[in-house]
Structure 1
Amino acid sequence: MAANPASEGGFGIYVHWPFCSAKCPYCDFNSHVRHQPVDQARYAAAFERELSHFAELTQGKTVQSVFLGGGTPSLMEPATVERILTAISDRWSLDQHVEISMEANPTSVEANRFKGYRSAGVNRVSLGVQSLHDTDLKLLGRLHDADTARKAIEIARSTFPRLSFDLIYARPDQTLASWEAELKDAISLAADHLSLYQLTIEEGTPFYNLYHAGKLKMPDPELGAQFYELTQKVTEAEGLPAYEVSNHARPGAECRHNLVYWRYGDYVGVGPGAHGRLTVGVNRMATAIERHPETWLEAVEQNGHGMIEFAGLSEEEQGDEFLLMGLRLTEGIDLKRFEAFSHRSVDPKRLKDLLDHGMVEELGDNRVRATRDGFFVLDAVVADLAA
């Protein structure tokens, strides 16, 4: 086991672009709509400065992945993306197989920018399709229609070496039969990766208010479980099995950046609202950045960074986080790494109880993973193992 157990999870950089053209009614991410054009050159300069701050803290690391998320990163001009990626390659060594992912919306304007993003260094795009039905796209507050999404997928497939797109299921009034047909349609369009999320009602969103006012009908939990089961069955049969609760890929096409999170590696988070986990010396640190874009911008211009939290994680917190992230993966977790983070062993009685109840299974070589039943109550499984 390495002296720094996080090093086995890899090292990535997350860049948060906080702006959107419109706020989706289900979204609780840190995203903001601005009706005046954003000064992209000024923001690019701020990203460069904040990246410099984190490069000082993480000297000697090699970047395996970069992820441009948001918000809507495809509202960035290709020149802005190029400045940010150049800033990263100037400050760190890049792995020869570095994955550089970018979230994009499938509107025609953004699809036309894809060649510029590819030239800037992006080699994997993740499209926020969400549905292949126009009525549902309208319900979800999306600005594109299904035809535009299909065209964007086609352009992305011809432009980038790797492509993923997102769909949301268990939508109001959706049937299992219609989801199965839509999912098979999506798989025929997909290259090698799909992110498939159940619609959840998050506090502070318009959907939350509608749901609690009785104006939005959601599937009951039993039907929700059937949607999940159907999703696993169809994707497995079509060669895109789940490698994480909501993510499906052909073997070898998993998102390397997200694996850094789930394998509990180190990652820098820059931009408004970004979070990070860094090993600095012998300490594992949690970082958080100011959420409000303009406040962040001023903070970076004054101080070189917009960090509002830089706190050491206790051994217990590291163990809990390692379990919570790693048990989302079908590859499961190495219990020796849990011991390295938490400096204690999993209680054998609790582990046996979870095994006996079919919540986890052993993979040999000191590895365990959550079963499909365990995925439904993952928080409880984690709490048991962590106790």
Structure 2
Amino acid sequence: MSTIISQLQLPGKQAPKLNALPPLSLYIHIPWCLKKCPYCDFNSHAVRTGIDIDEKAYVSALIRDLESTLPHVWGRRLISIFFGGGTPSLFSAATIDTLLTAIKTLFPLEPGAEVTLEANPGTFEAEKFAAYRDAGINRLSIGIQSFNSDHLRSLGRSHDGQDAIKAIEIAQKNFDNINLDLMYALPGQNINDAGNDIKTACAFGVSHLSVYHLTLEPNTLFYRFPPVLPSDEQSAAMQEMIEQTLTSHQYLHYETSAFSQRGRVAQHNMNYWLFGDYLGIGAGAHSKISFETQIMRQMRYKQPQEYIEKAALAGAGSETTVQSRQTLSNNDRCFEFMMNALRLTGGFESALFQERTGLPISIVMPQLDEAEQRCLITRDHRHIRPTHLGKRFLNDLLQLFLSDSLEYSPKSTGNGKA
């Protein structure tokens, strides 16, 4: 991003400072799946027939990786833990218990910290998920995608509609905090099909729903061989219908693709969207870690076997699993904060911008002025939020913060309208 816009400079090239470090979350990536879905661009690898995942070797690598990064986050408390993938529910409950025990030995957890495990319907067993709960998982995220078996086949999923329903029923016997992932604008889907999926999900009364528009991402089978998808007009109608249906069922639309019952927003994802810190371990995992005068991004080696081999060489303070590092420029801080926080339908407190970036909100005042003139945001001296138009044209709103007109001067630090 720093190559797109000119570099912001503080007086005397002084680095901006954070007065306090943001909350910290932990992400653990489990990269294996039963099969690779044709739309998926995540770092996931299909389990080969007859070859078992070496859970023990991978868990050892995760723990060594975590130990090696401790000097960067020493003494900081975790507000959430997220096991993502891939399909983390391919791992045994005993393995998840081992990992959580190691994590709690190395890190203090905030009281009531959210601990999420991603799962797919094809991996559900009643006893296994009771054991996950006993190990310390307190939130389950289930990759349903659709309840329509024909659409699930078109997506290359390993489960059908009945498997999806059975999975939710098992989950509800063991967890009271459950997210369902759903997708719309699927091959061959019409607005009635999308409506049936949403109504079925609502009938279960789970605490959280994530509803995503299917997109054709590079490096996926769907990108190389595109299926016939609903038109933009049909997709927009589906989105409008989904939002109205969920509102009528008392779900709060608090982020672009996220809906929750009151008081049940995803703590882990909220920390992302509010430009908090997250430590990512596992093959291909990403991290964002703040220090007083710099904000650093990291990416782990993507191939599982290479990651395991690199982790074997790690020692305290020796992060051999890290493939790439980047220190965020001032431009990066501005854009990435807005890229995340403007996804929230309620927006953000203006003071949070300086708290999380170290930069005064006035540095982006021309961009905020233009966004307001174009009716993409509404704001007062305390709060900034996207309008309905801004939410519909979020990419246009974010593009403003990639311009080359960001400037800093000592006179721009006043408490003007933001």
TM range (shorter): over 0.9
The answer to which structure, 1 or 2, has the higher relative contact order (CA under 8 A, 6+ apart) is 2
* Correspondence for 1:4: 18
**Counterpart check, 1:280 vs 2:291:** yes
Partner SS state of residue 303, structure 1: coil
Show the counterpart of 2:211.
196
Cα shift readout 1:18-40 (whole Å, capped 9, x = no counterpart): 00110011101000023210111
Contact 1:105 1:129 in 2 (8 A): yes
Q: Equivalent residue of 1:239, what SS? A: coil
Q: CA–CA distance in 2 between the matches of 1:89 and 1:339?
A: 31
Q: Deviations 1:97-137 (Å, cap 9, x if unpaired)? A: 11000000112544541011111100000000110011111
Over alpha carbons, which structure has the higher Rg? Answer: 2
DSSP-derived class of the 1:257 partner: helix
1:60-209 equivalent positions in 2, closer than 5 A: 60-107=75-122, 109-209=124-224
* Selected match of 1:353 from 366, 370, 378: 370
Which of these residues, 383, 386, 397, is aligned with residue 367 of structure 1? 383
Q: Report the CA distance between 1:365 and its aligned residue.
A: 4.8
Q: Structure 2 CA distance, aligned partners of 1:282 and 1:110?
A: 48
Match for residue 244 of structure 1 among 245, 250, 255 = 255
Q: 2:239 aligns with which of 228, 239, 260?
A: 228
Instruction: Please tell me whether residue 322 in structure 1 is matched to residue 343 in structure 2.
Output: no
Tell me by how many angstroms 1:65 deviates: 0.2
Using the alignment, how far apart are the partners of 2:114 and 2:200 within structure 1? Answer: 27
- Which whole-Å deviations, capped at 9, do the CAs of 1:327-356 have from their partners, x for residues lacking one? 001121233332451624255454233223
TM-score (norm 1): 0.93
Distance 1:205 1:342 in 2: 38
Secondary structure of 2:283's partner?
coil
3-state secondary structure, aligned to 1:113: helix
Aligned residue pairs, count: 380
CA shift in 2, pair 1:320/1:24, >3 Å = same
Task: Give the Cα–Cα distance (whole angstroms) in 2 for the partners of residues 109 and 380 of structure 1.
Answer: 41
What does the per-residue CA deviation read over 1:13-67, in whole Å, with 9 as the maximum and x for residues that have no partner? Answer: 0000000110011101000023210111111111111111222210111111000
User: 1:164/1:63 Cα in 2 relative to 1: closer, same or farther (>3 Å)?
Assistant: same
* AA of the residue aligned to 2:112: H
Distance 1:379 1:79, change over 3 A: same
Matched, 1:20 2:53: no
What is the aligned counterpart of 1:32 among 42, 45, 66? Answer: 45
Question: How far apart are 1:254 and its partner, in Å?
Answer: 0.6
Distance in 2, matches of 1:34 and 1:154, equals 26
Paired with 2:363 and 2:234, the residues of 1 have a C-alpha distance of 34
- For structure 2, the 5+ residue unaligned runs are 1-16, 404-418
Q: Distance in 2 between matches of 1:110 and 1:283?
A: 45
Give the distance between the partners of 2:133 and 2:20, measured in 1 at CA: 31
Give, in whole Å, the separation in 2 of the partners of 1:339 and 1:71. 35
> Match of 2:400?
384
Q: Residue type of the partner of 1:28?
A: D
**TM-score normalised per structure 2:** 0.87
CA distance in 2, matches of 1:349, 1:204: 37
* Farther-moved stretch of structure 1 (342-351 vs 18-27): 342-351
Q: Percent of aligned positions with the same letter in both sequences?
A: 34
1:125-153, CA deviations, whole angstroms, 9 ceiling, x for partnerless residues? 00001100111111111111111111110
8 Å contact from structure 2 (residues 300, 324) kept in 1:
yes
The Cα of 1:187 is off from its aligned counterpart by 0.7
What is the CA–CA distance in structure 2 between the aligned matches of 1:314 and 1:354, rounded to whole Å?
23
**Helix, strand or coil: the match of 1:300?**
helix
Deviation of 1:240 after TM superposition, in Å, equals 0.9
8 Å CA contact 1:51–1:87 kept in 2: the answer is: no
**3-state SS of paired residue (2:121):** coil
- Closer, same or farther in 2 for the Cα pair 1:280/1:379, shift >3 Å? same
Deviation beyond 3 Å, 4+ runs, structure 1: 3-8, 108-112, 346-350
CA RMSD for the aligned pairs? Answer: 1.9
SS in structure 2 at match of 1:7:
coil
Residues 182-231 of structure 1 show CA distances to partners (whole Å, capped at 9, x for unaligned) of: 211111114110010011111111111221xxxx1112222222222221
Asked whether the 8 Å contact 1:58–1:280 carries over to 2, the reply is no
Q: Which residue of 1 aligns with 2:300?
A: 289
Contact 2:180 2:208 in 1 (8 A): yes
> 2:228 — aligned with what?
217
- The structure-2 alpha-carbon separation of the partners of 1:271 and 1:349, relative to structure 1 and needing over 3 Å to count, comes to closer
Matched, 1:261 2:272: yes
